[in-house]
Amino acid sequence: MFEDTRPAALDTSDDHDHWAPFRVPDADARVALLRQLRDGSVPLSVSSPCGASLRTTIWAMDTPQKRLNFSVEERNPQLQQLVQSDEAVAVAYLESVKLQFELCNLILVHGQRACTLQTDMPSDIYRFQRRGAFRVRAPQRHSPSARLRHPAIPEMELSLRLLDVSVGGCALWLPDDVPLLQAGTLLGEVQVELDAETRFSSGLSVQHVSAIGPGEHGVRLGCEWAALGGIAERILQRWIDQAQKRRRLLSLT
């Protein structure tokens, strides 16, 4: 999963760019995001392939020259390693959205009272939904489902309704006529169908079991994704991103 400050491994070396749905395609939109980071003094985690890392903020933007300036402490021992690598990855958050972008041509600019880290303005910015921050509540009709075998009764096949979905996990409705699953149970292979075109396989770890509400004949299984592969992760991210866009559009109507 996409951890808080660790950059996602964006491998775009093959012919098909799987990460394209998460890229911000418009140059003006990228500049607007960088301005939000600057104006809000939003903390960024900047790291290089050599392992150097530091926390910083965007101090200034030179849009015509396509350069960024970051606030840094010259005495920070990680700074020189970062500059010597000449490339780095920055990670920041705007509310529930994780932003990630590469930084190239790193140089230190010394002033009378301070120095800044200057880099090229990124040509690509990626947007990812922060882990567990946005949950898609499944509709009653055409609800997403999870197909699996009961871990205690392998011959029993289950098709459970998903109550909600996030990049961190999901909630399943377990009917009361099915043998109960306990917290800590690992569900090895689950076939998840979010809609007619969106399917993937993953393991699930049951984190907690709770009642749903009056009149509901079953329990809620709060689960965390386990062994979620790269392809499944991209499918899930894309589906949640589209769901969030639909909700945003509805809120404007």
CATH number at residue 43: 2.30.110.10
245 burial type by CB count under 10 A (0-12 exposed, 13-18 middle, 19+ buried): exposed
Contact in structure between 156 and 147 (CB atoms under 8 Å): no
Residues 99 and 205 in one domain: no
What pLDDT, on a 0 to 100 scale, did the predictor assign at position 3? Answer: 42
- Helical segments of the chain, H only: 27-39, 77-85, 230-252
Residues 183 and 245 in one domain: yes
DSSP structural state of residue 246: H
* Residue 155 covered by a domain: yes
Residues 199 and 214 in one domain: yes
Its domain, for residue 123, covers: 20-129
Residue 211: both structure tokens together: 């009642």
Residues 74 and 44 in one domain: yes
Q: Which residue shows structure tokens 């790193």?
A: 106
Residues 89 and 184 in one domain: no
Beta bridge partners of residue 94, listed in sequence order: 97
Contact in structure between 69 and 109 (CB atoms under 8 Å): yes
Rounded to whole angstroms, how far apart are CA atoms 89 and 119? 11
* Residue 9 covered by a domain: no
Residues 97 and 140 in one domain: no
Q: Which of 105, 129, 153 is the last residue of a domain?
A: 129
Residue 222: both structure tokens together: 């709060």
Q: Which of 102, 129, 156 is the last residue of a domain?
A: 129
Domain CATH number, residue 141:
2.40.10.220
Give per-residue burial for 11-35: e unless 16+ CB within 10 Å, then b. Answer: eeeeeeebbeebebeeeeebbebbe
What pLDDT, on a 0 to 100 scale, did the predictor assign at position 190? Answer: 95
Residue 182: both structure tokens together: 């306990």
- In tens digits, the chain (253 residues) has pLDDT values of 334 445 566 655 555 566 777 888 889 999 999 999 999 888 888 988 888 888 899 999 999 999 999 999 888 888 888 988 888 999 888 766 788 999 999 999 987 777 899 999 999 999 886 555 556 776 555 678 999 999 999 999 999 999 888 888 899 999 989 998 988 899 989 999 998 889 999 999 998 888 776 566 788 898 999 878 888 888 988 888 888 777 767 655 5
Residues 101 and 47 in one domain: yes
DSSP structural state of residue 23: B
24-to-57, 151, 218, 241, 247 alpha-carbon distances in Å: 21, 42, 42, 13, 19
155-to-140, 148, 150 alpha-carbon distances in Å: 28, 10, 8
> C-alpha 149: how far from its chain's center?
29
Contact in structure between 197 and 151 (CB atoms under 8 Å): no
- pTM of the full structure: 0.53
Residues 79 and 39 in one domain: yes
Provide the 3-class DSSP secondary structure of residue 142: coil
* Residue 108 covered by a domain: yes
What pLDDT, on a 0 to 100 scale, did the predictor assign at position 2? Answer: 38
* Residue 12 covered by a domain: no
Residues in the chain: 253
Residues 248 and 148 in one domain: yes
DSSP structural state of residue 85: H
* Residue 112 covered by a domain: yes
* Residue 36 covered by a domain: yes
* Residue 3 covered by a domain: no
Residues 106 and 208 in one domain: no
Residues 122 and 141 in one domain: no
* Residue 32 covered by a domain: yes
How many domains is the chain built from? 2
Residues 143 and 206 in one domain: yes
What pLDDT, on a 0 to 100 scale, did the predictor assign at position 35? Answer: 94
Q: Which of 129, 162, 196 is the last residue of a domain?
A: 129
